[in-house]
Structure 1
Amino acid sequence: MRNKNTNNTETIIVLKLNRINRTHCSQALVALALLYAAQSHAQSNVSLYGVLDAGLLYASHYPNAHGANAGPLYAFNDSGVSASSFGMQGIEDLGGGMKLKFKLESGFSTGTGALANSNKNEFGRQAYVALENGYGTVAAGLQYSPFLLSVISTDPRGNSYFFGSSETLYVDNVAVTGMFNSNAITYTSPKVGGFSGSAMMALGGEAGDFAAGRQYAVRLSYDAAFVHLDAAMYNGDSGGTAASTPVPSTVAFAGRTLGAKFYLGSLALGVAYSLYKVAGGFSSQVYGTGLSYDVNSFWNLNAGTWYTRNGNNSADHSILAAVGTSYSLSKRTALYAQVGFVNNHGKMTTGFIAGPALPHEVAGSTTAVNIGIRHRF
């Protein structure tokens, strides 16, 4: 029951406010707004970030629309090392050890300014909200799958977007499935004794068919002073609402990966095995290894090689190799150069890049060179 004195108190407050002139009211409101803004700023943080990556490309062969050799290619190349992208992320302290986080991330082409590297959607790379506390993080929305994160975590060349990396072969096999997971819910555990795990379920959203477009993945990783170990699996069904995106992100496939990365001073060595068993297609078994060496704080050298074979037909196989170097002009800006070589046999069409420039290559051998500049903000 309301206190009998409440109405009297409210009346007194109203009477006192009526006696304050408009100038004083304005000053009071401004002061309150500034105080609220200061408190909000102390409790939350929103930041912008992104990457601009552009360069030049030469390839000794380039496939035409029918997959045949169309001759050499000389072109401007977007996203040589990292996908050109921009985004915003934020965090709010909810108290009691609970935090809210969000991320919105899009991609674009430095060559044209058009949407790219994000499935042609405004925020096609990531768009999620998450709650985090001491027991882990639960996130909902468009996210990278734990399987993809496991694959790239042991990549010897730092997941180079172009000229040979684990990501190149990932996209070559299953496009953006698992890379941009729509309708996804994930849980990531805190790190305990060096171990951490994560799980994902992406809902297909098709009425009357729960399995359509459903995707799920689990991951387990271990970190110590000199080694990182990672393993994951992915299973997905075709269909669902995500199948209507510009590039369908529900290719039906079963994925498995196991890898390790060893750190010896300035030298990092990576080795990994991945399986992409695509429904109605190849069962690609990928064996990769490579290294990265920091000559000094500015200069890096790296190299990697990947052998892929079709488990359904051993005549389909390829070898992909790449070497690269980067020189940092500052903490955010670097120049880079890369040379790649791929040799395809049978029906294998392994390409150089996780993007549209050289999505698949022709049979036989192809050599390519890429130089460019990357800036992170």
Structure 2
Amino acid sequence: MGSSGAVHAQSSVALYGVVDGSLLYTSHTLNMSTGQNEGHQFSFSDSGMTGSNFGMRGAEDLGGGLRATFTLESGVSIANGQFGNSNGNVFGRQAWVGIDSSYGSVKAGLQYSPFFLSLFDTDPRGMSYFGSGLVSYVDNVVVTGLFNSNSITYTSPEIAGIQASGLFAPGGTPGDFQAGRQYSAGLRYHLGGLTISGALYSGNAGGSAASTPIPSTVEFVGRTLGASYRFQNDLTISASYTLYKVAGSFDNSVYAGGFSYFVLPYLDVNAGVYYTRDGNEGANHSIMASSGVQFFLSKRTTLYGQVGYVNNHGRMNMGLSINNALYEVAGSTVGASFGLRHMF
């Protein structure tokens, strides 16, 4: 027995994260209690570009082309050290375990939906926390479809440039199968610099996810179709259409377009325009325009500056920033965000 050999599967665990802080200015500030304008603000804002977080990811080679994987990711606010940028739980961004193989990957737990990942694929500003498609997303449905509890997903391998994905999440309420039930599906085509991505989402109210600190069961139906093209000179252009149809409320269509261009290997300039219109009431519409510059001090550390403008009409209340300025007053608001991001 002492001379017998032992076979050990190769495994790895890595700690990773993002620390992002900025200074935020907006010319107007909405008081959510009164609905009135409280004037301009100048404040420190956690996560001006990317949500501050830390987590662990790991993998183990099981042999025969199989690999076990997991991710545990917690959102954190560097403004006060509390949980943030998540559904409010300890590992409120991601908490899943899965199996990878040549036939695709299966994951179970808290994870992103194909609907959100499709939007991320074609957003011209990379889903920045300031002036991007992410602000429009959270303004419409908070974190529903973003952090999906109790979910099981399958992602196929890429075949001839085509990759499919699907998600199903039972609500977890005994005796009520429909409460909190969520499903999503996406299809992605990639060829050279071209990416075309489309997805759908459907979710019901209630279920166990409604008890999280930030409930993720807004009842809505989502649809999106977008495309991006990356040229050899490091210019990427993007355009997309997204529908957020919220039960008993608005029916918002969002038309987006923009670009990202690496002027130098360490300098990126980007811009985006987002027009939102309520299909139930045409008087409710808004336009948001924003641009940003990223100066990469290293592969991990970035200085950035962002400016934005939003104009709301009717009952539209689109803001400019996920943190500190998610909703805004009617009329025009301008804002700016300057910060530092470090990834590890």
Common fold: TM-score over 0.5: yes
User: Structure 2 residue aligned with 1:307, among 275, 285, 304?
Assistant: 275
User: Structure 1 residue aligned with 2:52, among 84, 97, 106?
Assistant: 84
1:132 aligns with 2:125: no
Give the match for residue 237 of structure 2: 269
Give the match for residue 202 of structure 1: 169
Greater relative contact order: 1 or 2 (C-alpha under 8 angstroms, separation 6 or more)?
2
SS of the equivalent of 2:282 reads strand
Q: Distance between the aligned counterparts of 1:244 and 1:66, measured in 2?
A: 27
User: Structure 2 residue aligned with 1:178, among 117, 125, 145?
Assistant: 145
Q: Distance between the aligned counterparts of 1:66 and 1:137, measured in 2?
A: 48
Q: Distance between the aligned counterparts of 1:281 and 1:327, measured in 2?
A: 41
**By how many angstroms is 1:197 displaced?**
0.4
1:118 aligns with 2:86: yes
After the TM superposition, list the runs of 4 or more consecutive aligned residues in structure 1 that deviate by more than 2 angstroms.
none
User: Structure 2 residue aligned with 1:108, among 52, 66, 76?
Assistant: 76
Q: Which amino acid aligns with 1:72?
A: H
**By how many angstroms is 1:362 displaced?**
0.6
SS of the equivalent of 1:294 reads strand
Query: Structure 1: 5+ residue runs without aligned partners?
Result: 1-12, 14-27
**By how many angstroms is 1:291 displaced?**
0.3
The 5-angstrom pairing of residues 38-187 of structure 1 reads 40=8, 43-64=10-31, 65-162=33-130, 164-187=131-154
* Deviation string, structure 1 residues 327-352 (Cα, Å, up to 9, x no partner): 01011001000001000000001111
1:279 aligns with 2:247: yes
**By how many angstroms is 1:154 displaced?**
0.1
Give the match for residue 232 of structure 1: 199
Q: Which structure dedicates a bigger proportion of its chain to helix?
A: 1
Q: Distance between the aligned counterparts of 2:149 and 2:94, measured in 1?
A: 9
Q: Distance between the aligned counterparts of 1:127 and 1:174, measured in 2?
A: 21
Q: Distance between the aligned counterparts of 2:35 and 2:110, measured in 1?
A: 32
Q: Which amino acid aligns with 1:340?
A: G
Q: Distance between the aligned counterparts of 2:35 and 2:84, measured in 1?
A: 22
**By how many angstroms is 1:353 displaced?**
2.0
Query: Structure 2: 5+ residue runs without aligned partners?
Result: none
The RMSD of aligned alpha carbons is 1.5
Q: Distance between the aligned counterparts of 2:35 and 2:96, measured in 1?
A: 37
Q: Distance between the aligned counterparts of 2:122 and 2:28, measured in 1?
A: 30
**By how many angstroms is 1:119 displaced?**
1.6
Q: Distance between the aligned counterparts of 2:127 and 2:22, measured in 1?
A: 17
* Deviation string, structure 1 residues 72-126 (Cα, Å, up to 9, x no partner): 1010011011000000000000111000000000011111111101121100000
Q: Which amino acid aligns with 1:49?
A: Y
Q: Distance between the aligned counterparts of 1:335 and 1:373, measured in 2?
A: 5
1:338 aligns with 2:338: no
Give the match for residue 324 of structure 1: 292
Q: Which amino acid aligns with 1:257?
A: T
Q: Which amino acid aligns with 2:283?
A: A
Q: Distance between the aligned counterparts of 1:67 and 1:180, measured in 2?
A: 28
SS of the equivalent of 1:167 reads helix
SS of the equivalent of 1:91 reads strand
User: Structure 1 residue aligned with 2:328, among 346, 349, 361?
Assistant: 361
Q: Distance between the aligned counterparts of 2:321 and 2:106, measured in 1?
A: 32
Q: Which amino acid aligns with 1:198?
A: S
Q: Distance between the aligned counterparts of 1:94 and 1:45, measured in 2?
A: 12
Q: Distance between the aligned counterparts of 2:65 and 2:91, measured in 1?
A: 29
Q: Distance between the aligned counterparts of 1:172 and 1:365, measured in 2?
A: 17
Q: TM-score, normalised by structure 2?
A: 0.97
Q: Distance between the aligned counterparts of 1:353 and 1:152, measured in 2?
A: 17
SS of the equivalent of 1:152 reads helix
**In terms of Rg, which structure is larger?**
1
Q: Distance between the aligned counterparts of 1:252 and 1:116, measured in 2?
A: 23
Q: Distance between the aligned counterparts of 1:275 and 1:152, measured in 2?
A: 15
Aligned residues: 342
Q: Distance between the aligned counterparts of 2:101 and 2:193, measured in 1?
A: 28
**By how many angstroms is 1:354 displaced?**
2.6
Q: Which amino acid aligns with 2:161?
A: G
Q: Distance between the aligned counterparts of 1:161 and 1:222, measured in 2?
A: 26
**By how many angstroms is 1:179 displaced?**
0.3
Q: Distance between the aligned counterparts of 1:114 and 1:169, measured in 2?
A: 24
Q: Distance between the aligned counterparts of 2:191 and 2:318, measured in 1?
A: 34
**By how many angstroms is 1:67 displaced?**
2.3
